[in-house]
Chain A
Amino acid sequence: MRVSRGMRVFRVANLVFLLVVVFLTLYPFLNILAQSFSSEGFINAGQVNLFPMGFNIETYKLILADSTFWRNYGNTVLYTVVATAISMVLTTSFAYAIAKKDLKGRSVFIGIAVFTMFFNGGLIPNYVLISSLGLRNTLWAVVLPNAISVFNLLIMKSFFENMPRELEEAAAIDGLSQYGVLFKVVLPLSKAIVATMVLFYAVANWNSWFQAFLYLDKPELFPVTIYLRNMIAGVTTAGSAGGTAENMGQIAANIQSVTIVLTVIPILCVYPFVQKYFFSGVMLGSVKE
């Protein structure tokens, strides 16, 4: 009714602007997808943008036939599953205990966890520690060092704090121990937060590369992110050599795109859930009372 002309202009301009943002966000993804299906000549000539040029699935066949790729992909799955399981056990038990407002020493426990958000040992002491614990070139170097995310811990804690106390009290009167209350009453009612946390940890572990990069030297232990990282690093050195190496780099661009696409697929599959849960998780973590 009382929409002024200026307002209408603004709305159209705003919509156009936001659509441009959407396009710019998606572009790199579409570009990678297009490159992964394009043939080398077109990639070299810099002609691949949104759509594949000279349709080619040879590279997909090549990568999918590469046993190292599969092995590393399998490692990523393994690391993700193990790390997520460990993280969930540690995070849930700690969050449950510190959510009990009358637990003696609670504030000390919380303080111990929270301080690590603001101060950390740094790269070198961590590296020395993992090395001297003898964890190098083992799964543990990948799954243990970041087992608890304090952010996730605090989200879970506030979820448990908001559970109706009467439930637990009733369960306690019925003779359940604190373990019983946790396993039989609280956890069954916490499926939403548990699912959220599993997704948080799983996505983070799927995407991680640095721990593996630091502590694993054997190619058969690498996760797929390191497989990809080594490819990218290879391109940069080939590129700087110039000449024919530049060509090699461009061919590698095709292989790289294929690997990126294959690595991203699982994330895209869980994306609808991920983003819904992440959203509510972040809300839960950010809103107090």
Chain B
Amino acid sequence: MAMRLEVPPESVPRDTEAGAQKPRNKPGGWKLAIKRDWRLYTLVLLPLAYFGVFRYLPMAGNVIAFRQFQPGGNIFGEKWVGLKYVTLFINDPSFWQAFQNTVILGVLTLLFCFPMPIIFALLLNELRSEKFKKLIQTVTYLPHFMSVVIIAGMILQNFSMTGTVNQIANTVFGTTVNFTQDAAWFRPMYISSEVWQTMGWGAILYLAALTRVDESLYEAARIDGANRWQQTWHVTLPAIRPTIITLLILNIGTFMAVGFEKILLIYNPLNYATSDVISTYLYRVGLESSNFSYAAAIGMFESVIGLTLILSANGISKRLAGTSLW
């Protein structure tokens, strides 16, 4: 009973291998299959066209990172320029600033936003009243269903000079801080809002995993004289470990994609020093300054790191913990 989120049933790549070995792959197989299942194949056509045009064509479109592109021109660019744009961003201090911010925000997100749902789920699980549990869950999911534009509006209002956070700061410390325009405060502002947004929703899968922990294990632990804390440590946590690892891999996979839309909505030139991440930087370079090829080179770098991270996280966890996405 492994947990899998957003992930193909274990089968995906394995299926491919298995499929290749099956005897029904004999010549003429396709003809038969199409004759028998042509209706199913017609169902697949439009979705495949969708993936081809809107997913794979842009992947191929990344070649403009190595070609000179003129707005309005060929989507693959006009002529080869080799690694010109790659060298350009490698020597670009603004890029490295954004890179550094991305890594720091990514690490902070992993550090704060990843464990919180686990702790929250464990605490919720200790509640005796099912009704209370439901109520608390219902409320804490709410931010998850809000548009990021609304979230951004709330962040900017609560952290504004007259917002709630400053009211508290004023009462407690007698000072106010211009949170939204101070680079030193961007990270706390971003991370705290991120925790607020994701904690309740993130706890769902852990709660589900917790309900499936075998009661007799607790029984046995109690007989062995384990107190509540030891039961949590030795029974509960190991029981939800596969869930934790799966979600950790997914989190690592999205490490580079830190809150692009949210940052784009709440940052401003005054806090670029800490708020500008790779994706926002490439957005400005690419779409605001129309440097398409340059921005595509940066974007490709970002995607490749993302893919590498998830592949390595998956590989490592497969080897060490026996849990993997595929």
Residues of chain A having any CB pair with chain B under 8 Å: 7, 10-11, 14-15, 17-19, 21-22, 24-29, 31-32, 35, 43-46, 49, 89-91, 93-94, 96-98, 100, 103-114, 116-129, 131-132, 144-145, 147-148, 150-151, 154, 158, 177-179, 182, 203, 206-210, 214, 225, 228-229, 231-233, 235-236, 239-240, 246, 249-250, 253, 256-257, 260, 263-264, 267, 271, 274-275, 278-279, 282-283, 285-289
Q: Sample 23 A-B pairs with CB under 8 A, ordered by A number.
A: A21-B199, A22-B136, A28-B196, A94-B47, A105-B33, A110-B11, A121-B57, A122-B299, A124-B292, A126-B54, A128-B69, A144-B54, A158-B9, A179-B39, A207-B146, A207-B148, A214-B287, A229-B152, A232-B156, A240-B270, A246-B161, A271-B145, A286-B3
**Contact in complex: B205, A112 (CB < 8 Å):** no
Cβ of B300 within 8 Å of any chain A Cβ, yes or no, is yes
**Contact in complex: B141, A275 (CB < 8 Å):** yes
Q: What residues of A have a CB within 8 angstroms of the CB of B13 in the complex?
A: 111
Size of chain B's interface in residues, with CB distance under 8 A? 110
**Contact in complex: B286, A232 (CB < 8 Å):** no
How many whole Å from A214's CB to the nearest CB in chain B?
7
**Contact in complex: B180, A239 (CB < 8 Å):** yes
- A106 CA / B44 CA spacing, docked (Å): 10
Q: What residues of B have a CB within 8 angstroms of the CB of A108 in the complex?
A: 16
**Contact in complex: A257, B47 (CB < 8 Å):** no
Surface stretch bound by A, among B91-99, B103-111, B162-170: B162-170
Given contacts A18-B123, A107-B19, A110-B12, contact A94 B5 (CB under 8 A): no
Given contacts A44-B162, A124-B295, contact A18 B50 (CB under 8 A): no
Given contacts A90-B47, A104-B29, A287-B1, contact A206 B147 (CB under 8 A): yes
Cβ of B184 within 8 Å of any chain A Cβ, yes or no, is no
Residues of chain B having any CB pair with chain A under 8 Å: 1-13, 15-16, 18-19, 24, 29-30, 33, 37, 39-41, 43-44, 46-48, 50-51, 53-62, 64, 69, 72, 75, 120, 123-124, 126-128, 132, 135-136, 138-143, 145-150, 152-154, 156-158, 160-164, 166-167, 180-181, 196, 199-200, 204-205, 208, 228, 253, 261, 265, 268, 270, 279, 282-283, 286-287, 292, 295-296, 299-300, 302-303, 306-307, 310-311
**Contact in complex: A49, B153 (CB < 8 Å):** no
